[in-house]
Structure 1
Amino acid sequence: MSATTGTGRQFGEGPLSRVASFVYTLLVVELLLVATMLPGLAVLIVLDRDASNVPLAAACALPFGPALSAALYALHHRRQDLTELAPAPAFWRGYRANAVGVLKIWAPWLAFVTVVGVNLTHLSVAGIPRWWAVLLVVVAVVATLCAVNALVITSLFTFRAVDVARLACYFLVRTPSVALGNAGLLAVAATVTVLSSEAVLALAGSLLALALLRTSQPMTTLVREQFTA
């Protein structure tokens, strides 16, 4: 009787408990994600979708990078045991640890896409030929996919900024399935934003972060095996 009891399932280890812990973690991370994005999100929601507001929209998006990074960190370190849940401390730990490193990637990327966006919305004024506009879009997409790789790497590992940039570019070629999956996520995010609003996308932020972790798993596995002790 005692042996059976000792090897029996403990509280918090069953399938229902795992589902409950998963949902709870997603909800807590979502609330914290929205809270840390709120300073920029509140302005972005009321901002007119006009070409002249592209720089202001980019400035509003500045808090999104550290917030998404913290969500990635918290979800990556989530526990399945219902008795050991701590998503909020994990979120804040990831936010404090990665905010500076993420901004070193996020801010230059925002500045770059802002320049591209302004040029694309003022083609006739800038005198840019159509073929150059297409090239700008291609470069912006590649830069965005590299920035996503860098965001994931910075969120889960500790490297110098220059090494993060190298790894992000390297894995863009080394793991094409990751680039394809992330491109699909970006397309979905852009579609949701265009058809609804930034607020709707923000309310699905934890699900987006979870999907990003899943699509980036081949890359993070290789980083852990080949570039960490």
Structure 2
Amino acid sequence: MRVRPGAPVLDSPLARAAALVHRLLVVGVWTAVACSPTVAAGLALGGDVTNLPLLAVAALPAGPAIAAALHALAAHRPDLADLHPSADFRRGYRRTCAASLRLWAPFLALLTVLAINLTHLDVAGVPGWWAVPLTLITVAACLWIAVALALLALGHRDAARRAAHTLATRPGVTLAVAALLVVAAAVTLAGTEAALLIAAPPLLHTLVRTVGRW
């Protein structure tokens, strides 16, 4: 949706809210399309632990999609003559695809190893308390990738190092991002992957605004 620059536009809180809702909806559609291979593979493979490596491979397209969505949401401005979220999403995808994969692929590999270990503690013959540090590492990795992708979308270089530094020195960011991850996990557990896709735009918008303030 484009509004001709210079055209009279109702500049009110309601109009600005409508512009934000428009961006969230459009970005949500693009994110769902970009993540459709991941969702389809997840539905086909199911939740069997033996499929975790395949699920990780299938999840590769989700990383660039999330980064592009964050870029498009970060580009939102209160100027109602600047309504082109589709172009912002495509631009963000082109700009962040390679860099986001360099962050996302190792994250998925680590997550897969951690998930396999957590679900096979009895087979490995290790004490049950090993689940605690493995879970903490999993949570830390999820916090790191969320902040790293947000920083990447905001145009920061060396997003991996900056994300680690932000989490270590900004407890407010850490707590806020942790809360968003809890909400995302709750939506997924209570519903389906499709429910998470619906909730993703407002969650990602909150994430990129939270990280961008620091």
Which of residues 37, 40, 49 in structure 1 aligns to 2:38? Answer: 40
State the number of aligned residues: 208
- What aligned pairs does 1:149-160 form with structure 2 within 5 A after superposition? 149-159=147-157
**Equivalent in the alignment of 1:223:** none
Cα offset, 1:169, TM superposition: 1.0
CA drift at 1:10: 4.1
CA distance in structure 1 between the partners assigned to 2:56 and 2:104 by the alignment: 10
Q: Equivalent residues in 2 for 1:181-220 (5 A)?
A: 181-219=176-214
Contact 1:45 1:197 in 2 (8 A): no
Measured on the aligned residues, the alpha-carbon RMSD in Å equals 1.7
| Paired position in structure 2 for 1:125 | 123
Tell me whether 168-177 or 15-24 shows the greater mean CA deviation. 15-24
Question: Which residue of the partner structure matches residue 116 of structure 1?
Answer: 114
What corresponds to 1:95 in structure 2?
A: 93
**Superposition deviation, residue 118 in structure 1:** 0.5
Tell me, which stretches of 5 or more residues in structure 2 are unaligned?
1-6
Partner of 1:225: none
1:164 corresponds, among 151, 159, 168, to 159
Contact 2:64/2:100, CA 8 A, preserved across alignment: yes
CA deviations 1:187-215 (Å, max 9, x no partner) are: 11112112211111012211111121233
The 5 A counterparts of 1:128-143 are 128-143=126-141
1:43-70 CA distance string (max 9 Å, x none): 2134322211222222222111111111
For residues 19 and 112 of structure 2, the distance between their equivalents in structure 1, rounded to whole angstroms, comes to 39
Deviation string, structure 1 residues 5-29 (Cα, Å, up to 9, x no partner): xxxx942422332122111111111
Report runs of 4+ in structure 1 exceeding 6 Å deviation. none
Name the amino acid aligned to 1:33. Answer: T
Question: Which region of structure 1 is more displaced relative to structure 2, 39-48 or 191-200?
Answer: 39-48
Cα distance in 1 for residues equivalent to 2:49 and 2:148: 28
When the two structures are superposed, what TM-score results if normalisation uses the length of structure 2? 0.91
Using structure 1 for the length normalisation, give the TM-score: 0.85
Gaps of 5+ in 1: 1-8, 220-229
* Selected match of 1:148 from 146, 153, 170: 146
After superposition, the C-alpha distances for 1:57-96 in whole angstroms (9 at most, x for unaligned) are: 2222211111111111111111323332111101100110
Partner of 1:128, secondary structure, is: coil
Identity score, percent: 43
Q: Secondary structure at the match of 2:9?
A: coil
SS of the aligned residue for 2:213 comes to: helix
Counterpart of 2:3 in structure 1 is none
